[in-house]
Amino acid sequence: MAFPQLRLRRSLLLLALLCLATAHAADLDRLKLDAFVQEGDLLLEEVAKLEPVSQQLAAEGKVLDQTEAQLREATPALDADIHKYNSDLAALEKAAAERRARCPKESTDAALVESCNAQAAQINAESQRLTEVREQLHARRGDLNQRIEAFNRERLDWAKRRQAQERLLGPNKSDVDDWVKRAREYLDSPEFKSLYVSSNTDPGTCGPEKMGDIKAVHHWEALRQLQSCFRAVRGGLPQ
């Protein structure tokens, strides 16, 4: 998507700019300013077509980053719980082995029978608890794996769409940077400074301090601020 009609219109404007020498000398400065404003408007139209998708991709990227952070936290948490389960299971198996060694199948020692039965009840309860924990861990691991797989698909899809958007932004960015470079040179020219004085433009929009701010920004934001300045000066010129 290269916006051919907009580019054709911009080319015609640039051609008109080259032909300014044929205009009346008194109108040259105003015509040059008009050419910058019209070209800037066309560039802003292109940006307006591309910006919503760029903003959507940026918002999606933030959500994906948050999701990735959550998954990175969930993975070690699950690993820690699995490690604890394995430790508890090993302790249970050790306790069961000790009981088997200590407790005979039959005994006339009432105290020993009572102690062995109590220990067996504890082992059975712990075994039941660990069975439930194992099922929970299995479910958590399955859920986490599904979330990771879904995240990877979403991240891949987002990356493909971002690459496609960057391919569209590339030519537009080159056009904008070219306009910004020429506009900044024009901003410092005696011709523009004379128009600025004649227009009685609000310094907050296009004054020296504001121009210093404009020189510190780049690309699309520079386009917007410069275009706002040029429009203000053009609008303030006597008819």
> What is the tens place of the pLDDT at every residue in 120-153?
899 999 999 999 999 999 999 999 999 999 999 9
Q: Give the pLDDT confidence score for residue 74 in this predicted structure.
A: 92
**Span 100-108, average pLDDT:** 82
Whether pLDDT at 2 is above 50: no
Position of tokens 């128009």?
195
pLDDT digit string, tens, across residues 160-209 = 999 998 888 887 788 888 999 998 888 888 888 888 888 877 777 776 66
* Alpha-carbon span 229 to 204, nearest angstrom: 10
Is 37 a residue whose pLDDT tops 70? yes
Query: Is the pLDDT reported for residue 56 higher than 80?
Result: yes
Measured between alpha carbons, how far is residue 229 from residues 24, 31, 35, 198, 237 in Å?
A: 25, 16, 14, 14, 13
Q: 220: pLDDT confidence band, cut at 50, 70 and 90?
A: confident
CA atoms within 13 A on the CB side of 175: 23
Q: What is the pLDDT of residue 1?
A: 46
